Amino acid sequence: MLELVQSSDICTTLTTDPLYVVVEGPIGVGKTTLVHRLKERMDANLVLEVVEENPFLSQFYANPKRYAFQTQLFFLMSRFRQQKDLYDEGNLNRNDFLADYHLLKDRIFAELTLEDEELELYESVYESLAMCIRKPDVLIYLTADEKSLIERIERRARPFEKDFDRRYLSRLSERYQHHFSEYSDTPLLKLNTTRINYVTDQEPIDEIYSEVKRLASNWRAGLGIEACISSNFK
C-alpha cells in the first residue's frame, strides 16, 4: 500500500479531454519503468526522452566542465521539439499522453552543470521555449535514497554511465528536492520509490493511476493547488 497523504479527499469526474501525465525525478529513480507500467493501465501514447542520441553525453560524463553547455543545449532543443510536437498532436489525438520527463528537468540539470555566463544565456533560451509547450495535467515526482538510485543505474548498465560520478547524483537529487518542494504549477503526486515495487506488483500501479485521476479531476474542477497535491512522503 502507498499510504498516500492527500490534501483533499474530494474527487470529481474527469472531462473527456485527454490527460497529459509526466513522470520526473533524478537519474535512476524509475521514471521510464513507471511510464511503461502505467501505459498498461491507461490507453495512452508514450513520450519518451531520447538520451542516447545526444552526441556530447559520454564526453560530458568524462569532462563535465568542458562539455556541459553543448550537452545541455542539445537536450533543451531536442526536448522542446518533442514537447512542441506533443502539443500539436494533442489537438488532434484523443488518447492520453504519458511522458518520462518534463522540460523543467532540463533547467534543473543546467543549474547544476553550467557556469554563470552559460547559465544566463541558457535561461534566456529556456524561458522563451517553456512558454510554448503544454503543461501536464499531473506531474508525478519520484525520489529514492541514494543507495537505491546507484543500484538501479548499475543494473541498467548504460555505456555512457559507466564513469558516473556519485557526488553528481547526490547534488542532482538535492536540486530536484529544492525545485519540487516549491512546485505549484500543476497537480503534483510525490512518491518515494525506495520501497515501492511497481516493476512487478500491480497494486501500486492501480493506486498511482487512481490518484492521478483524482488529482486531475480536482484540478479541472478548479479546486485549487492545495487540493491537487498528494504524497507518500513521511
Residues that are catalytic: 100
Place 39 in a pLDDT band, splitting at 50, 70 and 90. very high
Share the mean pLDDT of the chain: 86
* Cell representation of residue 19: 490527460
* φ and ψ of 67, to 5 deg: -110, 10
pLDDT at 57: 87
Among 13-22, 39-48, 143-152, the range scoring the smallest mean pLDDT is: 13-22
Reply yes or no on whether the pLDDT at 172 is more than 90: yes
Distance CA(120)–CA(92), nearest Å, equals 36
Task: With CA atoms as reference, report the closest residue to 161 among 32, 27, 24, 70.
Answer: 27
Question: Which whole-number Å values give the CA distances from 17 to 90, 97, 132, 138, in the listed order?
Answer: 10, 11, 20, 13
Residue-level pLDDT at 15 = 55
Angle at 196 between CA 217 and CA 232, to 5 degrees: 50
CB crowding 206-220: b at 16 or more within 10 Å, else e: ebbbebbbbbbbbbb
Instruction: Report the sign of the C-alpha dihedral through residues 159, 198, 185, 5, in that order.
Output: negative
Query: What is the number of domains present in the chain?
Result: 1
What is the pLDDT, as a whole number, of residue 13? Answer: 45
* Predicted local distance difference test score (pLDDT) of residue 163: 66
Q: Any idea what the CATH number is for the domain that residue 112 is in?
A: 3.40.50.300
Read off the pLDDT band of 11 (50, 70, 90). Answer: very low
pLDDT value at 14 more than 80: no
- Bigger pLDDT: 219 or 157? 219
Give the whole-angstrom CA distance, residue 169 versus residue 26: 8
What are 63-118's pLDDT values in tens digits? 888 999 999 999 999 999 888 877 665 455 568 899 999 999 999 999 999 999 99
% pLDDT > 90, the chain: 55
Range of the domain at 69: 5-231
Arithmetic mean of pLDDT, 217-231: 89
Residue 174 has pLDDT above 50, yes or no: yes
pLDDT at 169 over 60: yes
pLDDT at residue 234 is higher than 50: no
Cell of 218: 480536482
pTM recorded for the entire structure? 0.87
